[in-house]
Amino acid sequence: MTNVAPKGPRSLQVLLVDDNPIQLSLLRHLFQRHGHMTIEARNGAEALIVLATEFPDVVVSDCVMPLLDGYQFCRLLKDDRATRHLPVLLLTAQGTGLARFWAKTCGADRFLVKGRDLDHVVEVAEALAEQSPRPRTAHAIPKLAQENFGVDAIQRRLAQALEQRLVETALRDSIARLYTSDHDTPHLIQGFVEILQELVLPGAIIVAYLGEEGLWCHGVHGSSSSTEDRQALEKAVAEQGLFQPPMNCHWHPASDDDERRRSLRDPVLRVFSATTPGYPAVGSLAFLTERRSAEDFERLFEIAAEELGRLLCLEDSRLRLYHQAIRDPLTGLYNRRHIFDMLEMELDQCTRFGQGLSIMLMDLDHFKAVNDRFGHATGDQVLSVMAQRMAFGLRKVDQLGRIGGEEFLAYCPQTDLEGARSLADRLREQVMRDSVPGLPPQDRMTLSIGLATWEGGEDTAERMISRADAALYQAKAEGRNRVAG
């Protein structure tokens, strides 16, 4: 039965579902008084029949009804591609207990308590309809409306919906378990792909992640996916515009049983942004699979993209916090605590394997005069530039940190004193070769460097640093811009 009210400036078509005729009449009066049209059904099964021919903007349904209650009705709507984005507002007389929980788990967009919240029902329904991304022109018929509306068909659909919820929960749980205390980013992404490939393949899947250390991309493909298919996936991810650096995906073949050897039938390519509300997108999920698989598992892929976004945002936050904890904020070098910790670990390796190690304690000459003459902002710029020059002047195996003010520490694995001296002299000459931005062109910043080398099993980091500090004092006493030790 359809009741029509005069069309107002914000006229909506509202599907009202309630087995109580008094409650149904009250809802009809509320919505028509605000200029909205109403369609009515007495239970969820009847509402499904209505949806075969009508296209409402929002559904307002009671929770407790015969044959098919509001929770079951909502679950069927949210599991059907044709009605997934149709906003659902559930009403109940139970303000406590499990009612609110079930309303949330079945996918309802809002939940109101009759009597206490009923005055707001029109306002809430209007807001849901306004926020809905559902297109209002196309009309897709729900799956159940295309079948026999008997009890068996409804029960079968409900069983499928509950199974879908179980799979979704298992998928979320499996992905959440990847985030452990001893993980790293590549293994995190590999584990995610291994979970998801069971759904996607035959075909291919890739995950791209942009972190502080650059772009990392991992992919898995079945035998039915060609090189051109994989290149198309990479191109589709690149065209999203999330990543400026060129992609270099690490592809790996999947396990190759009979199911994965078949040819792709009607292949389709899908790309999802891995995002979490409040965070910028740091990753992408893309896959190539059969169209039927993509449609059957569409909600699972959306969930996977949501969980991937949560994983990558957690990982991005963890790495940022970790880098903040170990890096000097001005120069980007390791801070005092971390370079000392790394030196201790390196000395453990020396003791275990009998390797050599030397350290360099470095100080910028006359740096206080820079601050006095040009100000602390220029001083900070000079520190940053000189730190980068020192980092580029050292070898890849050497480690450099800022330990305070204008003082720096570097350690050089498997390097004796003479090797360290040669390296220190080259470094000293290299950093003073060019002028420093912010200073007059004729001014040059120079380094004084004190050296010390590991002297065997009883030697410690403290003793080495003490000897290097004494050598640095000697270099400064002899006129600066030199190496001692």
**Spelled out in words, what is the top-level CATH class assigned to the domain 2-149?**
alpha beta
CB 389 within 8 A of CB 430: yes
Which residues are identified as catalytic? 406
Collapse the DSSP code of 289 into the 3-class scheme (helix H, G, I; strand E, B; otherwise coil) and give the result: strand
If one counts every other C-beta atom within 10 angstroms of the C-beta of residue 434, the result is: 12
Cα 300 versus chain centre, distance: 17
- What is the pLDDT at residue 118? 73
Which position has the token pair 């250390």? 213
Residue range 177-325, CATH number? 3.30.450
Cα 228 versus chain centre, distance: 28
Contacts 24+ apart (CB under 8 A), 383-387: 383/330, 383/331, 384/330, 384/331, 384/332, 385/436, 385/437, 386/431, 386/436, 386/445, 387/330, 387/331, 387/332, 387/333
**CA gap 269, 240 in Å, rounded:** 13
* Sign of the CA dihedral running 27, 30, 31, 33: positive
Structure tokens at 142: 């729900």
Q: What is the CA radius of gyration of the chain?
A: 33
Cα 133 versus chain centre, distance: 23
Tallying the residues shown for the chain, one arrives at 485
- What is the pLDDT at residue 137? 43
**CA gap 218, 207 in Å, rounded:** 5
Which positions ≥6 away from 197 have C-beta within 8 Å? 205, 220, 254
Backbone φ and ψ of 208, nearest 5°: -115, 140
DSSP character at residue 247: P
E-state strands within 322-436 = 357-364, 399-404, 407-413
- What is the pLDDT at residue 445? 93
Collapse the DSSP code of 13 into the 3-class scheme (helix H, G, I; strand E, B; otherwise coil) and give the result: strand
E-state strands within 307-466 = 357-364, 399-404, 407-413, 447-453
Residue 116: Cβ-neighbour burial (10 angstroms; 0-12, 13-18, 19+): exposed
Range list for CATH 3.40.50.2300 in the chain: 2-149
- What is the pLDDT at residue 100? 75
Per-10-residue mean pLDDT, the chain, length 485: 51 93 92 93 87 89 88 86 88 73 84 78 91 60 61 72 78 85 79 84 86 82 87 88 75 71 81 80 87 82 87 83 91 95 93 91 94 92 94 94 95 94 94 90 92 91 95 94 93
Cα 88 versus chain centre, distance: 29
CB 476 within 8 A of CB 447: no
- What is the pLDDT at residue 409? 97
**CA gap 482, 480 in Å, rounded:** 5
- What is the pLDDT at residue 151? 66
Residue 224: Cβ-neighbour burial (10 angstroms; 0-12, 13-18, 19+): buried
Range list for CATH 3.30.70.270 in the chain: 336-484
- What is the pLDDT at residue 260? 56
Collapse the DSSP code of 35 into the 3-class scheme (helix H, G, I; strand E, B; otherwise coil) and give the result: coil
Give the type of residue at 94.
Q
**CA gap 106, 158 in Å, rounded:** 11
- What is the pLDDT at residue 279? 74
Fold for 336-484, please state it.
Alpha-Beta Plaits (3.30.70)
Which position has the token pair 């520490």? 409
Which position has the token pair 């979704």? 168
- What is the pLDDT at residue 8? 45
Range list for CATH 3.30.450 in the chain: 177-325
Q: Which of 48, 2, 76 is nearest to 150 (CA)?
A: 48
Measured over all CA atoms, what is the biggest interatomic distance in the chain, rounded to whole angstroms? 101
**CA gap 446, 434 in Å, rounded:** 11
